[in-house]
Structures are given as C-alpha cells and as structure tokens.
Chain A
Amino acid sequence: MTELSSIHRRQALTWMAASASVLSWPLTVFAQSRPWADTLAAARGQTVYFNAWAGSDRTNAYLQWVASEVQTAFGVKLEHVKITDTADVVKRVGSEKNAGRHAREGTVDLVWINGENFAAMKADGLLLAPWAEQLPNFAKVDTVGKPTTRNDFSVPTDGQESPWGMAQFTFFADSQRLPAPPQSMKELLALAKRQPGRITYPRLPDFTGTTFVKQALIDTVADPSVLTKPPVPAELERVTAPLWRFLDELHPHLWRSGRQFPQSPAAIRQMVADGELLLGMTFNPNEAANEIAARRLPASVKSWQFARGTIGNTHFVAIPYNARSPEGAQVVANFLLSARAQARKADITVWGDPTVLDLTRLSPQERAEFPVQALPGQVATPAPTLPEPHATWVDPVEKEWVRRYGR
C-alpha cells in the first residue's frame, strides 16, 4: 500500500519536474548559474551513474579511487557503469528520449565521451544545458595551449562537456625487434613490405582503428585544410582517393593479409607482448609505460609518434539531459578537474593519462604532485599534435572502409 502511494507521488513529482523543464528554458539556465555551494548541497546523498568505457583495469581502478574520494569529500556515491562502446550509451539515452523520458528520469548521469558520440548527442539534444565552464576548476584548464579542450573534433563544446584528459596517437614496439621505428605512413608501408604479416590496426569502427585511418588520411590528403570543415559530398571521393590507394597498397602486407583486423588496440597490445605483431598503437602516450609498470610488456618496449606529428584530442565527461543526479555529476566532473585528481591520473603507475590543466596556473604545491622524470616506455621526444578532422568525416570514412574492407 505504502509502496503504491509512493510510486504515485514519485510519478507526480517527476511529471511536475519534467513539465517545468520543458516549459521554461530560463528556469534551467537559472538552475545552472546557481552558486556552486547550492550545487554541492544538492549533490550530497546523490548517486551518480558514470558510464565509462571499462576495457582497462587501470581506468577502472582509478575510477574506484575517485568514487571513494567524492564519497568522503562530497557525500556523492559514484557508480562506475562499465561499458564497451560509448555509442551504446548515446543510443540508450536516445531510446529513453524516444520513450518520452523527461529530466531526472534517465539511467545515465555522466558519460565519458568525445568526437562523433558527443557530436551526435549534441545534435540530438541529448545533453544537459551548458554547465562545464562554470565549474570552479575549469579556470585552470589550458584552453589556449590545448585548444581541443573547448573544441571536440572541430565541434565547439559550448560548455556541454567538461575536459578530462589529453590523448595523442602513439605507436609502441619492442626496441630489440624494431630498433628504427617508422616515422611516417610511407615508412610504415615500407616496413610492412619488409616484414609481412606483422603489422595491423584495429577493425573500424574501433576508435583507435578509425584514428589510424584518419592519420593516414591527414598524411595522404592533398590539402589538409579541407579536413577542418564538414566534407562536401561531391568532393568526398576525390579528396579521399589517395587514402584508399594507400590502404589498398598497405593491406596485402598486413596481419592476415589485411583480410581480417583485430577488434581492439588491446588485442594488438597482447599480440605485441606475445611477439606475434611488431608494433601496437594507442591514444594514450603513456600506455606502454603503464603496461611495463604492470609487468605485462617487457621493459625494452619504446613509444614514439611520427616525426611530423600525430592526431591528438581531448576526452571529456558529459551529462545527459535526463540525468537523475545532475548536481552530483557536476561535483564529480569538477573533482576530476582538480589538480589532485589530474595529477594522480597522470601518474604512470595509476593510469598515465596526460592532464588538461595548465601547470603554470597551479600553485607550487599542486604542481609538485605531477610526475616529472620520464619512465621506461614513455615517448622520448614528443611530436606536434595534429588536430582531428571535423567530426563529420568519421561517418563517411568508416562507412567506406567497411564497404571496401569489412566484408
């Protein structure tokens, strides 16, 4: 009986909340600009379901640390919802919207996101109104030196996602087997011809696989400036022709003659560890160092980036429009931006994910928390970061790749 009446009350409440948010935009904006203290107060006791890719136990362990920190400091309960593909979350929030779910009726409070997934959620109105740049810790973000913290694959973030970490496309290999690593796609092709069957990249639409192809696109395209804008359908074929010529030439020399591709960069890493493949690739410049520290890769593994630079980007956290605990989610996002959390994340023995902060804006004590000396497996000479092509390039390139090589 009591259960029944509480359900009625809850439905009435959510209905009221929902109609309020639908009817009055200004109200929502007002809610966003409330002082931080109000957000902290509202967040206390909330449970935040953080949907984050869980393919790495280091990331998972880091999030467990975050969970215990925000629980003690802010009374926010953080639940890591382990997912394999962020597109799954985009889809789920989309289904919830189609099923008529309103504000505070969703299953996702915070999502680890960037690129085309962010672009899709933003375009479909699946995100909470701007909040990220009002976070107290956002002031320390290096928005000038790391412009990708406000520009996600050439899509402006507009405060609908908060930067979390930096990534740059990086290769790694056992230096005993590969003393002179390839410095461009052309050299990579030459290496594949010399040692057939020992190189591969993850099958698209895997994120790292897509990045490999985008890197090849940047390296082969005649005029890289076309990549900063959405592709013009009529020009697409002409612009991408050199890319497909390059891949057509490369594939016969890849692992399993390029007829099959591993599902993930981690699969490639395991094969590098076993000696089945020559080189691996990752978006985390410190991944090889991590794996050496975890004793899953031999200490002779070294990381490098192409001499002319590789693609880099920022990964973010976003809050869906229907989050049940938007305040708690903001408190978590703000904590993730704190010097303490960023320094711990940058620590090789923890995760090794580069920070989004501007170290010069931190206090000396805060700066001292960040690691200084290089460890085995880290990139010795960092190369320039090349901007991601506009997010809208991903879809046609992936579709064409699947059509050509995905059979």
Chain B
Amino acid sequence: MSPHPGWVASLLLAVVLLPLLSVAWLALESLNNPTAWWALWTAPQTVSAMALTLWTGLASTTLAWWISGWLLAQGFIRHRLAGMTRVLPAMLATPHAALAIGLLFLVAPSGWVLRAISPWLTGFEFPPPWPTTQDPWGLGLIAALVLKEVPFLLWTAATQLHRDDVRRRWQAEFSLAETLGYAPDRAWWLVVWPQLAPRLWWPLMAVLAYGLTVVDMALVIGPASPPTLAVLAWQWLQDADLAANAQGAAAGGLLALLVLVTGLGWRTLMWASWRPVDGRRGRVPTRLTDDRTGRAGGVWAWRAILLIYGAIVLALAVGSVSGVWPFPAMLPEVWTLQAWITVWSSASTVTDTLLLAIGSTLLSLLWAVAWLELVPRRWDSALRPLLYLPLVLPGVLWVVGLYGLVLWLRWEGQWAGMLLAHTSLVLPYVLLALSPAYLGFDPRYRHLAESLGRSRWDFLWRIKWPLLRHALAASVAVGFAVSVAQFLPTLYVGAGRWNTVTTEAVTLAAGAQRSLTGAYAWLQFVLPVLGFALAAWVGRPRRFTVPST
C-alpha cells in the first residue's frame, strides 16, 4: 500500500491553508491604509519603541542562542544532555507571562532579592527607588526572554540529538575528531554544532519573532514609557478610536517587516559564519574553546537558571498567600487564602483553559500526524514556511486577521472561534515538535513490516506509533502549554467572554494585586507542567520484564 498524495494531501492542505490564508489576507488587508502608516510614522513614540523592540528582541535572541549553544556543548561532551533534558519540560511548560510575573516578584525594589539583603547589607528601611521593574532599557524583558527561550532551544536541539538517524553518526564523528587529537570542546564546535545549528533555524526564527513581537511578557516586565512596539500596537488596537486601531494594525505590519528583515540578516550572518573556511566545517569563537572556564561556567550557568526557575515558582506560591507584607520582611506578616478562594469561586476559568487547550491540541495532533504520514516529503518541505506563518507573523497582526475571519464567520466570543484561534497557534508548535522524530523514523521498520505482510494500519498502530510514543506525547504537551499560555487571541477573539488563567494573570499583573496575580500565575505554571509530567509518564520507555525461571 503506497501513500496516495493526491486528494488526501490536498484535503489536509485545504483544511489548514484556507483559514490560514484568510487570516493572513485579512491581516495584510488591514495594512492597506496609507493614512494609518502616516499616523504611525508621525506618532511620537514609534521610533523609540521600534528601537527598543530591536534591542530587546535581538539582544535576547543572541544571548539565548549563545547560552544554548554553550550549554549544549557542555551537555554533549560530558554526556549530561539526558540529565538536562529531564528537567527541561517543566521549564518549557512555564508560560512566558508566569515567568515574567515571577521574575518581577524577585527583582522588584520590594522583591525577594532586595528583601534578602536588607537592611543588614543595604541599610534600606524602605524599598529603594530603583528602576528594577519595567526598566527603561528593557533589561528585565531581555532577562525574562532569555530565561524562557534557552530551555526551548535546548529542547528543540535535544529532539534533533535524539533522532535515530543522526545521533549515532554525530557521536561517531565526534569520537573520530577526538581521536584525531581535537579537544572535546573543539570537536563539538567543529563537528557537531555546524551540523546541528542549521537544523535549529526555524526554532531560532520562532525565538526571534517572539522576542520582537511579545506582548504579554512586555506588558508585565517590559519598559513602559515608551513600551516596545508590540505593546504600543496592542494599546492602539484596543483604543476606542478606529483610526488608532488602523495605526495599531500598521504597527503590527511594521513588526512583521522587522521580523523579516532581522531574520534575513541573521540568516546571512549564519551562512557567512558556517561557510567552510580553509577546509574546516566552521569557525570557532576562540573564547569558547577554553576548556576549563567553559566547563565550570557551563555547570554554573545551568545551575543558575535552575535556581531562578525554582525561586520564581516559590515566589509565586508565597505571593499568592500573602497579605500585609512590609519591606524588608522575608515572609508576609499576614497570610491569607483569600486569593485562592477567589480562584476557586471562578472555577470556570480553569475548566475553560483546560477544554480549550485539550481541544486545540488534539485537533492539531490529528492533523499533524495525518500530514506527516500521508503527504509527500517534498510538499512538506515546500509548504513548511507557510505552515509556520503564525509563528513568524507578529501576534498583534495575527489577531487582527483572526478577528476579521471570526467576525465574518460570526464566531466572535463563541467556542468555535476560540478553538480556531487557539488551534491556529498550537498547530505549528505541534508540527515543529513532532517532525524531527516522526520524519527521522527508520524506514526499515516499515519495509520489514510490509515484507511480513502487515497492513499499513497494523504497522502504524503496532509498531510506528508505539515507538514514537515519546515524541507524540511530548508534542501534545507542547501544544497544551502553548494553548494555556495564549493571551492576545483569547482576549481579542473571545470578545472578553473567555477567561483563561493566562488572561487573568496578565490582567491582574497590570492591576498589581500581588496575591491574586501570584495565584493565577502559579496556576498558569502548574497546568502545563502537569501536562508535561503526564506526557513523560505516557512516553516513558517500555520495560521488558524477563520472566523468572
């Protein structure tokens, strides 16, 4: 039985491409408004907001990329990758907003860090008037983005390194380089990294696009006056004035241009640096080859990241039960469960979050598996850029198009509209997470099954999918986490009728009520983590018991 690319593939394509292209078309159509572009150009904040966006987006992506490469090197050389990837899901599952809120609880002038060293070290009786939250330079935003994106890059790299077809070869090449006398670090940077890095191109672009266009995180921890361009666009989109809305859409268009230009620029740089130089596979930054500091630093950096994540979760938990909490006390003076009682009394928020996440993830998984299974490889690679459109287009622009489509379908504020909005953003992530393992599946299994006379279904159900159980479960967890973390589409397409833990957390963070913000942010963190834990359990390696004789 051979795959029939014809109608099944076309159908699969149509199901996704029709809404995708209409959303994109509606979004782009809103940009055809010269007055709005002129208003954007003359708006007093545009230029400085754009500069801030470029700074925070590029700095965070560069740092995240560099740190990830460095950590991967340490992990690969010291055979610690497995240990690192074990904790990754929890970090990966942490929604951006929860991370930003937690980081805020740590670094604010009245945050834990300063409380810990006051007044014995600093002499402060009151929080200092320091700009450590929403700092005008965007450092807090950069830190939050880096903390969030490093685990994502590590994880996508790990899925590549777990692929059956490459793992053995890279390991062999690495060992060969070592036997030729290269130091392990050098062997990594010369042999493995140049092959791995190009495969991380799309994840990297997702990170870059996210860094340039993020709204929820920037609302919480980013600079406020001026804010980044994405936040400015979001504020304009929410304005009662239709002209301001058009200006917001134009700002979204400008963001798309920024993503495109910086993406192309990055690509050019990458090509230039990976081009073989005097017969070598890549150029090595000399700093990185210093063995001892590199390794010690790697361990230190990894522990620091783990520590910050732990502190964030703890800060959110303590914050959620805090009442009066004067500076510089380490713990609240008054503890109260008020925030959790409030959360409990609006339980529909949690069930809505769960149902939306499960619905959109299952739809995405079904489609992604069908696509990878049935569609010819060359269609797939040709259409990938289009399928990743929602990842690369700025969120603010995407919701404009989504809202247009949903309004046309009369689905605004409806379950169907919400499902469409979430699925359109979950699907690319599920596809991204599933592809490496799915496409890297050893074709010999199939040939073997066919030669034994097994049907295609039989092969899928009994061999391929069970073997890919880990990847399937992991991609479901990713989709679930992505859906839970959605802020813009939930608020915009949901006509405000749908509350998820994320919209609650971000809305409340603007209201800055510590306990309730902490409660929702903590919940926002816990739900996806449970998802990943479940995925890990489902995808755990099978153990064969040897019958005792």
A-to-B contact residues, CB < 8 Å: 49, 51, 54-57, 60-61, 64, 79, 81-85, 87-92, 94-95, 98-99, 107, 117, 120, 196-198, 203, 255-256, 259-264, 266-267, 269-271, 273-276, 294-298, 402-403, 405-407
Binary contact readout B212-248 vs A (1 if CB under 8 angstroms, 0 otherwise): 0000000000011110000000000011101001000
Once the chains bind, are A82 and B507 in contact (CB under 8 Å)? Answer: yes
Alpha-carbon distance A263/B218, docked complex (angstroms): 13
Q: Mark B402-436, 1 if CB is under 8 A from A, else 0.
A: 00000100001100000000000000000000000
Contacts A84-B510, A273-B324, A294-B338; A197 near B129 (Cβ below 8 A): yes
B126 and A263 within 8 A (CB): no
- Cα-based distance from A264 to B509 in the complex (angstroms): 10
Q: Is B336 an interface residue (CB 8 A)?
A: yes
Min CB distance A246 to B, Å, is 19
Evaluate whether A64 and B510 lie within 8 angstroms (CB atoms) in the complex, with A107-B497, A276-B126, A406-B226 already known: no
- Across the interface, do A407 and B48 meet the contact criterion of CB distance under 8 Å? yes
Q: A57-B513, A298-B324 are in contact. List 13 more A-B contacts (CB 8 A).
A: A55-B507, A55-B510, A89-B496, A117-B240, A196-B129, A260-B136, A262-B224, A271-B512, A274-B110, A274-B326, A276-B126, A295-B334, A406-B44
Which B residues are in CB contact (< 8 Å) with A88? 238, 240, 496
Q: Is the CB of A259 within 8 A of B136?
A: yes
Docked Cα-Cα span, A402 to B44, in Å, equals 8
Q: Does A267 contact B512, Cβ atoms closer than 8 Å?
A: yes
C-alpha spacing A263/B223, complex, angstroms = 11
Residues of B within 8 A of A120 (CB): 240
Knowing A61-B342, A88-B496, A95-B407 are in contact, say whether A55-B44 is a contact too (CB < 8 A): no
B372 in the interface, Cβ–Cβ < 8 Å?
no
Q: Which B residues are in CB contact (< 8 Å) with A271?
A: 110, 127, 512
**Once bound together, how far apart are the Cα atoms of A87 and B245, in whole Å?**
12
Question: Which of A91, A266, A267, A402 meets B238, CB within 8 Å?
Answer: A91
Let me know if B512 and A407 touch, CB within 8 A: no
Please determine whether B224 and A203 come into contact, CB atoms closer than 8 angstroms: yes
Residues of A within 8 A of B342 (CB): 57, 60-61
Chain B: residues with Cβ within 8 Å of the partner, total of 51
Report the Cα distance A153→B131, complex, angstroms.
36
Q: Which residues of A contact B496 (CB under 8 A)?
A: 51, 81-83, 88-89, 92
Closest 9 CB pairs of A and B: A274-B110, A197-B129, A267-B512, A55-B511, A276-B127, A87-B240, A266-B511, A295-B323, A90-B240
State whether the Cβ of B60 lies closer than 8 Å to any Cβ in chain A. no
- For this complex, 26 residue pairs linking A to B, each with C-beta atoms less than 8 Å apart, are A51-B496, A56-B511, A57-B338, A57-B342, A57-B513, A61-B345, A64-B346, A79-B497, A82-B496, A82-B503, A90-B240, A94-B240, A203-B225, A260-B134, A261-B224, A261-B225, A263-B510, A266-B511, A274-B326, A275-B126, A275-B127, A294-B323, A294-B338, A296-B323, A296-B515, A298-B324
A91 to B136, CA, bound (A): 30
Which residues of the other chain, B, contact A405 by a CB distance below 8 angstroms? 225
Tell me whether B69 is interfacial, beta carbon within 8 Å.
no
Chain A: CB-nearest residue to B513: A266
On chain A, the residues within 8 Å of B127 by CB distance are 271, 274-276
Q: Are B325 and A263 in contact (CB under 8 A)?
A: no
Across the interface, name the chain A residue whose C-beta is closest to B342: A57
Give the contacts of B106-143 with A (CB-CB under 8 A). 109-110, 125-127, 129, 131, 134, 136
Q: Does B295 have its Cβ within 8 Å of any Cβ on chain A? A: no
In the complex, the answer to whether A91 meets B240 with C-beta atoms within 8 Å is yes
The distance from the CB of A106 to the nearest CB of chain B, in whole angstroms, is 10
Per-residue CB contact flags for chain B residues 327-345 toward chain A (1 = under 8 Å, else 0) read: 1000000101011001001
Distance in angstroms from A121 CB to nearest chain B CB is 9
- Chain B nearest CB from A256 CB (Å) reads 5
Question: Is there an interface contact between A99 and B407, defined as CB atoms closer than 8 Å?
Answer: yes
A31 and B293 CA atoms in complex are apart in Å by 81
Q: Within the assembled complex, what's the spacing in Å between the Cα atoms of A264 and B44?
A: 22
CB pair B110 A275 closer than 8 Å: yes
- The answer to whether B327 touches A270, judged by C-beta atoms less than 8 angstroms apart, is no
B289 contacts partner chain A, Cβ-Cβ < 8 Å: no
A260 near B225 (CB under 8 angstroms)?
Answer: yes
Task: Knowing A61-B345, A297-B324, A406-B225 are in contact, say whether A264-B510 is a contact too (CB < 8 A).
Answer: yes
Contact mask for chain B residues 40-83; partner A; CB cutoff 8 A; 1 contact, 0 none = 00001100100000000000000000000000000000000000
Contact A276–B110 (Cβ < 8 Å): yes
Indicate whether B508 reaches chain A with its CB closer than 8 angstroms: yes
- Compute how far the CA of A285 lies from the CA of B294 in the bound complex, rounded to whole angstroms: 59
> Is the CB–CB distance between A275 and B512 below 8 Å?
no
Closest to B339 in A: A57
| A52 and chain B: residue at smallest CB distance | B496
CB distance from A148 to the nearest CB of B (A): 22
Residue B507 contacts which of A84, A255, A260 (CB distance < 8 angstroms)?
A84
CB B146 to nearest CB in A, in angstroms, measures 23
- Give every chain B residue within 8 A of A85 (Cβ-Cβ): 238
A402 to B109, CA, bound (A): 26
Could you tell me if B225 and A274 are in contact, using CB atoms closer than 8 angstroms? no
Tell me, yes or no, whether B449 is within 8 Å of chain A by CB.
no
Do A82 and B499 have beta carbons less than 8 Å apart? yes
**Roughly how many angstroms separate A120 CA and B109 CA in the complex, as a whole number?**
40
Are A91 and B245 in contact (CB-based, < 8 A)?
A: yes
What separation, in Å, do the CA atoms of A261 and B227 have in the docked complex? 11
> Given A264-B510, A270-B514, does the pair A91, B325 have CB atoms closer than 8 Å?
no
Which residue of A has the minimal Cβ distance to B124? A275
Cα A256 to Cα B240 with chains together (Å) = 30
User: Which of the listed residues A203, A261, A273, A297 has the most CB atoms from chain B within 10 Å of its own CB?
Assistant: A273
B473 at the interface (CB under 8 A from A): no
B322 — nearest CB in chain A belongs to which residue?
A296
Write out the residue numbers on chain B whose beta carbons fall within 8 Å of the beta carbon of A198. 129
CB–CB A295/B239 < 8 A: no
> Are the CB atoms of A107 and B412 closer together than 8 Å?
yes
| CB-CB nearest in chain A for B226 | A407
A256 contacts which of B129, B238, B336, B499 (Cβ < 8 Å)?
Answer: B129
B290–chain A nearest beta-carbon distance, Å: 41
Chain A residues whose CB sits within 8 angstroms of the CB of B48 once the complex forms: 407
Contacts of A82 in B (CB 8 A): 496, 499, 503-504, 507
Tell which of A84, A107, A262, A274 touches B325, judged by Cβ atoms closer than 8 Å: A274
